[in-house]
Amino acid sequence: MNRRLFLMGGAAAVARPAVKITSVELWPVKATERTVWLLLRLRSDAGVDGLGEASDAFGISGTTAENVVRMQMELDRQFAGLRGRSPFDVEYFRQNTTLGNLLARTVHSALEQAMWDMAGKVLDVPVYALLGGKVRDRLPVYANINRTTKPRTPAGFAATAKRAVAEGFRALKLAPWDNFVDSEAFVAQGVDCLFAVREAVGKDVKIMTDCHSFFTVERAVAVAKRLEPMGLDWYEEPVAPERTAETLAIRKGIRQEMAGGEFLFGVGGFAPLCREKAVHVIMPDVKHCGGMLEMTRIAAMAAVFGVTVAPHNPTGPVATAASVQLCAGMKNFRILELQWGEVSWRGELVRPAERFVDGTIAVPEGPGFGVTLNEALAREKRLL
């Protein structure tokens, strides 16, 4: 069925296309020693594909060759319940898959993404049209400069921030306390990194910081007070977001807005943060939160409590393309993350190439996510 017939309605639009999912492929694409993008592609008997991304499925342990084998095993397990099904059977897949850990949840989310991409391509419409339509044509994006910064010093972060701003980004994020050392000197250097970035980019660029849950409540409040003069846009996860009471105590003790929730799963995972208003911004990740349909439900729940959504997205161009479709119509959308500057060929991994203009990305009009995999480049950069 083409888009014209679908939009015209009538018998052609009533009958669901008889498309069956036939196979799945895993594409581990090595960007850097730190970063491997775990892409997957569903195939169908109609010759229509669907893309998904399952990067960062192993948390802090990272993606090794051994972990890719583990992912393939989990992918095979979950795909057994999808083989022969329609890409429109999203709710069936959601309700009939056992998800016990981060790996299982991330694989599930990636498969669900690929079902939506395939469904949009079958109907020749963007995924946002299947989710209620769009209200914006371009999305603001912030550059996460954390992984590309070397050395991780005040001067190093300042220099990286200047390069991102020169490319048009008007919002930046850094996590200067990674590789945490429990000493006041190390904590003070992280504070110095943030002030150096502010001095380098000026007062009109938004700056966020991610603490990656390294702090106690007392240290989190003390650090936030030291950072008040630089005007942070948000202060992210000083403690683990599952610790709702501690997160709320920090929020009440500081002036900056709070954000968090990058690895939480499902509406139930985000409900305590929103219900208690422990944060101003939640950060569901389409790769970990349960997929695209679950993120729409998470966002709708957050809107009830006046909480905005800035999707966590420090990964590859497929997850970005999926997130763009979700954010196009999201009522309480704030800003989207980009893992900036890791490799020069990032944008070329999909067709048409991923492009950012003045710190924004356009919502594509093509079917599905609006992109296809650049198979030649993916094969060239493949980990295994």
Q: Note whether 22 and 377 are within 8 A (CB).
A: no
- Regarding the domain delimited by 130-373, which CATH topology (the fold level of the hierarchy) does it fall under? TIM Barrel (3.20.20)
Q: Which of 46-60, 155-169, 280-294, 326-340 has the lowest mean pLDDT?
A: 46-60
Selecting among 108, 212, 280, 288, the annotated active-site residue is 212
Phi, psi of 42 (to 5 degrees): -85, 145
Q: Measured in whole angstroms, how far is the alpha carbon of residue 306 from the centre of its chain?
A: 21
Does the structure show a pLDDT above 70 at 139?
yes
Query: What's the whole-number mean pLDDT along residues 313-336?
Result: 98
Spans of all domains in the chain? 3-124, 130-373
Max Cα distance, the chain (Å) = 70
Selecting among 108, 280, 288, 312, the annotated active-site residue is 312
Q: What is the DSSP letter of 18?
A: -
For 168, the token pair is 């048009």
Quick one: pLDDT at residue 3?
Answer: 56
As a whole number, the mean pLDDT across the chain is 95
Quick one: pLDDT at residue 8?
Answer: 45
For 10, the token pair is 């009538």
3-124: in CATH 3.30.390.10: yes
pLDDT bucket at 326, cuts 50 / 70 / 90: very high
Number of H helices, E strands in the chain: 14, 14
Does 312 qualify as catalytic in the annotation?
yes
pTM above 0.75, yes or no: yes
Dihedral sign from CA coordinates of 103, 109, 115, 117: negative
Amino acid at 341: G
Residue 151 burial (10 A CB sphere; 0-12, 13-18, 19+):
exposed
Quick one: pLDDT at residue 10?
Answer: 45
> Distance (Å, rounded) from C-alpha 175 to C-alpha 145?
9
Does 108 qualify as catalytic in the annotation?
no
Q: With b meaning 16 or more CB within 10 Å and e meaning fewer, what string describes 283-315?
A: bbbbbbbbbbbbbbebbebbeeeebbbbbbbbb
Does the structure show a pLDDT above 90 at 11?
no
